[in-house]
Amino acid sequence: MINADELGVSRQNLDESLKSRTPSIRRLLGLEGKFGEQIGLSKDWAARIIRLVGNYGEVYERNVGAGSKLGIPRGINSLWSKGGIQYAPPIR
């Protein structure tokens, strides 16, 4: 979910992302490589999660962030590239 957040893949643009030529997006969504199978999951495991609940940022905002009654700013829960500590190793 964090990888999807970093790559800009969301529930809203998943179908378009499935047509991407970007290798990191293609690996995440199970279009290239066999990462899912190597860990005992289907090839499209990440795409299925994103379709159902979204990327990390979407889940955060919906449950505790601006889209919730709590309205907690993401702050330290932001991606590392945006001043937070959230980082996920690339899927390879």
Which pTM value belongs to this model? 0.91
| Sign of the four-CA dihedral 66, 20, 52, 7 | negative
- List residues bridging with 79 in a β-sheet: 86
- Side-chain-side CA neighbours of 34 within 13 Å: the count stands at 3
Q: Give the model's pLDDT for residue 45.
A: 96
Say what the pLDDT of residue 80 is: 96
Tens digits of pLDDT across the chain (92 residues): 999 999 999 999 999 999 999 999 999 999 999 888 888 999 999 999 999 999 999 999 999 999 999 999 999 999 999 999 999 998 87
Do residues 60 and 69 make contact, with C-beta atoms less than 8 angstroms apart? Answer: no
Confidence at residue 1, expressed as pLDDT on a 0 to 100 scale = 97
Assess contact for 80 and 28: CB atoms under 8 A: no
Alpha-carbon distances of 69 from 4, 29, 65, 72, 76, rounded to whole Å: 25, 32, 8, 9, 19
